Structure 1
Amino acid sequence: MTAATAPDGMVAGLDLLQRALDYTRDALGTITCADVDRPTPCAGWNLADLLAHMEDALDAFAEAADGAVGLSSAAPTPLEARVQALQHKACALLAAWLRADRPTVEVGGRPLAIDAIARIAALEIAVHGWDVGQATGCGAPLPEPLAVALLPSALQIALAGDDRFAPPLPVAVEAPAGLHVLALLGRRSSPPRARGDCS
């Protein structure tokens, strides 16, 4: 990705999106069929529910590259097919955004700057990647440089009272940025549940 190939104002957003996708692809690689019914940090959702939501979100963010976001829901599919679809859509997402040629995206009839959408996409993708890792017990913490870059978007969502995420939780001021991002989105970081076949 270079400034010459990215839409105006999108270089930083695309870089952040790439890092979030890389992190989440690694988390998706930890899933086994035994994990499908495991609880996630998303209240009331098991891993299958979370994966369905993630697929819907990737579809919506890919649509945003064409200038508008519609609402749809992924049909139920077997776990292996769903993980493969998520990995494929994650790979295709950056390509869709590199083809974007509009400065704004219509979301619910309201124009938002394309870079802001890329940053929100990166935040949602990375945090749900963390959720996956917590469910499988094989997750890695949010990398600190990625978390630092995601923090402004997480704060914006928390201040707006965005109901896509749980209400913010308290966290120590001196805590790493990754813990602040998670707390702003209603997540309490804890060591992932141990699983013997993590590699």
Structure 2
Amino acid sequence: MSEQTLATFAGVALLERAIDYALGSLRIVTPATLCRATPCAGWNLQHLLDHMADSLRTLNDAATGRISPPPVGGVSRGAGRNPALLVRDGATEVLGLWAGTLTGNGMIAIADRHLTSPMVAVVGAIEIAVHGWDVARACGEQRPIPSLMAEELLDLAQLFVTGNDRPHRFAPRVTVPPHAPAQDRLLAYLGRDPNCPTSP
């Protein structure tokens, strides 16, 4: 097995774990929670779920080797449908398509750039896992990101999320003690207060 295939397998495995975690958060979404605020500034839960659905569709596009441009004006391609169901539907498609990348050439075109499959899978895992935490918080639940996964995602986030991503994709880093749990350090690195209150 080549190094590229091994790296892709590791990336897909991490993506699978992130999706499993996020699906647990989606199970607690109800229609009454959709208007609640989330840890993502300016987004209520419905906006966040719309964004997650679009992110999953982008990952599906990526598994075919090319990412489509975002919808004009940022309008969700699934507008009008139940956002939690859209995310669940997208998640069920992602892993099967990504399993096929294990035998592909491993390169994904994004505009005029080409990224490896492992890089795209890892970025997807970071986003899906952390948004799973956001969803749980908005629903008033404490669902910690598993420690081992949080450690892995933190190491990778420090490679892939740079100052150029702030403040557009991520808020400024939040300060936490260096001995804080891996989840707290991950969330803080991605601009979230790990101690923010859950919604009522």
Would you call these one fold, judging by a TM-score over 0.5? yes
**Pairs within 5 Å for 1:12-51:** 12-51=10-49
Which ranges in structure 2 are unaligned for 5 or more consecutive residues? none
Q: Which runs of 5+ in 1 are unaligned?
A: none
Corresponding residue for residue 188 of structure 1:
193
- CA distance in 2: counterparts of 1:119 and 1:75, whole angstroms: 24
Query: In 2, Cα distance between the equivalents of 1:157 and 1:183?
Result: 15
What fraction of aligned residue pairs are identical, expressed as a percent? 36
Q: Write out aligned runs for 1:1-199 (5 A).
A: 7=5, 9-70=7-68, 71-72=70-71, 73-78=76-81, 81-100=82-101, 101-162=104-165, 163-190=168-195, 193=198
Q: Which range is displaced more, 27-36 or 150-159? A: 150-159
Q: TM-score, normalised by structure 2?
A: 0.88
Aligned letter for 1:146? M
Give SS of 1:51's match: helix
Aligned length: 190
**Normalised by the size of structure 1, how large is the TM-score?**
0.88
**Residue 17 of structure 1 contacts residue 122 of structure 1 at CA under 8 Å; is this kept in 2?**
yes
CA distance in 2, matches of 1:109, 1:8: 26
Taking structure 1 as reference, are residues 169 and 137 closer, same or farther at Cα in structure 2, changes over 3 Å only? same
Deviation of residue 170 (structure 1)? 1.3
SS at match of 2:109: strand
Give distance in 1, aligned partners of 2:173 and 2:105. Answer: 33
CA contact (8 A) 2:174 2:191 kept: yes
Point out the more displaced range, 66-75 or 103-112: 66-75
- C-alpha contact (below 8 Å) 1:30/1:139 kept by paired residues: no
What is the identity, as a one-letter code, of the residue corresponding to 1:114? Answer: S
Q: Distance in 2 between matches of 1:24 and 1:52?
A: 14
Determine the C-alpha separation between the residues in 1 that align with 2:7 and 2:144.
Answer: 29
TM-fit CA distance, 1:63: 0.4
What is the root-mean-square deviation in Å for CA atoms of aligned residues? 2.0
- SS for the counterpart of 1:111 is strand
